Structure 1
Amino acid sequence: MSFYQFAKTVVKMVLKPKYKVKEEGIENIPSEGPVIICSNHISNYDPPIVGITCPRPIHFLAKEELFKNKLFAFILNHVNAFPIKRGMKDRNALRKGLEVLKEGNVLGLFPEGTRSKTGELKRGLAGAGFFALRSQATVIPCAIVGSYKSKEPLRVIYGKPVDLEPLRESKASAQEVTDAIMDEIRKIKENH
């Protein structure tokens, strides 16, 4: 068993019952080939929650500050996370993300870039659109619905793939593609 699988099993045993996590729409995630999962961001627990509900291992972009603690950096490196500098173009992170997709893996993104304190969706950053346009990956919108403080189940809902063809044909910008992805996340939230 890989470290990732071990960590996923342990985290699942702790977080799934604690937050009554229910996943929906996992059939929308292709079982192979490059995939970008784009989720809203309401808590520090979002990456492990998305990680335990996705049937495939996810490579998450994580803020660089998280890698400053040696123990935490060790864990993050072994669960496929890699650092990104916030607030600037980080060419190394962009290159690494494209490499993950080129190898046919799953890239996990929180396009808002930071947590929403209110739970309301903020405008996504252009990075999600960049990865979508520069790869042949299937883009899956994901909405975390509910609250980590509520007694209600926390729902992780994976939507149908975002149709990127019209955006590619119209030569849409990375920001326009991100906006379209965020619209899909918004629709999932509103419908649930």
Structure 2
Amino acid sequence: MSSTAVVVPSLLIILLLWQLYRLYRACCRANRVDWGRGWMNLLDGLNRLFCYRYHRLNLLGIRLPRSGPAIVVANHVSGLDPLLLLASSRRPLRFIIAREEYERFGLNWLFRAIGCIPVDRQKRPEQALREALRCLRKGEVVALFPHGKIHLDSDPPRRIKAGAIRLSQITGAPVLPHRISGIRGAGGVISGVLLRSRARIRAHSPIYPEEWGKDQLYGLVQGILDGGDDREAAVAI
């Protein structure tokens, strides 16, 4: 075997290891949330690099109180949406997701690690509600997509589910609505993640349940998520 045949693979291995080390350092610098595990913190950094550099997410971030319970809601346009919300948050988010998604092969370990709350829409959905209530009472942040599935502005109108409203009224936690836009692969789960976007998250002012009746609260959230109600202009806080 020639010396060249030995040197070239060795150099490639060294180069690969060097690039992996650079990626590791970049993930450490990008990490903003302590998930309690080193490898989870690295994933947090990696996701932020992916969303901010590849999908060109705006830098404003989602609005969260520094501590205490909160309920994050957003419109749902693609499979990229939860990654964008996680990348924009300075606190861990406990997503409520459909059980069939929670048990998806190859991803269940990740959903468990970040504390997702599975909901079985056909059998005992109240279990997910009780778990979400427990998290909020511990001062955590619960996140969900009230449309229940991917829904584009061009689709026929779809009423949001009332879970976030119920959680807010029971616990007193504010609802923090956000509008996601600029997704190139909108409408798809995989395409939303793979196709490069110019992603935008627009944060609206927190809505406190004690200030509004159930129907008013529902209408405000529905309007913001559908893009037809500018919370900042329509509601004086």
User: What's the % identity of the aligned pairs?
Assistant: 22
| Deviation for aligned residue 1:117 | 4.3
Cα separation, 1, equivalents of 2:219 and 2:204: 16
Q: Among 146, 157, 177, which residue is 1:111 paired with?
A: 146
CA spacing shift, 1:5–1:151, aligned 2, 3 Å: closer
Consecutive unaligned residues of structure 2, counting only runs of 5 or more, are 1-35, 186-194
Q: Among 68, 71, 74, which residue is 1:36 paired with?
A: 71
| Deviation for aligned residue 1:126 | 1.1
Identify the residue that residue 17 of structure 1 maps to in structure 2: 53
Higher strand share: 1
Identify the residue that residue 181 of structure 2 maps to in structure 1: 145
TM-score, normalised relative to structure 2: 0.69
* Higher RCO (CA < 8 A, seq sep 6+): 1
For the aligned residue pairs, the C-alpha RMSD in angstroms reads: 2.7
C-alpha contact 1:101 1:135 (8 A) present in aligned 2: yes
Cα separation, 2, equivalents of 1:88 and 1:55: 34
- Superposed, which structure 2 residues align to 1:163-174 within 5 Å? 163-167=208-212, 170=213, 172=214
| Deviation for aligned residue 1:7 | 2.0
| Deviation for aligned residue 1:34 | 0.2
- Superposed, which structure 2 residues align to 1:31-180 within 5 Å? 31-86=66-121, 90-118=125-153, 122-149=158-185, 153-167=198-212, 170=213, 172=214, 177-180=217-220
Which shows bigger deviation, 63-72 or 47-56? 63-72
C-alpha contact 2:54 2:196 (8 A) present in aligned 1: no
C-alpha contact 1:39 1:142 (8 A) present in aligned 2: yes
SS in 1 for 2:143: strand
C-alpha contact 1:141 1:181 (8 A) present in aligned 2: yes
Which shows bigger deviation, 12-21 or 62-71? 62-71
| Deviation for aligned residue 1:115 | 0.5
Q: Given residue 138 of structure 1, which amino acid in structure 2 is its aligned partner?
A: P
1:99-152 Cα shifts (integer Å, max 9, x gaps):
110000100010111111455563211111111111121211111022234876
1:139-168 Cα shifts (integer Å, max 9, x gaps):
11111022234876211122111142242x
Query: Whose radius of gyration is greater, 1 or 2?
Result: 2
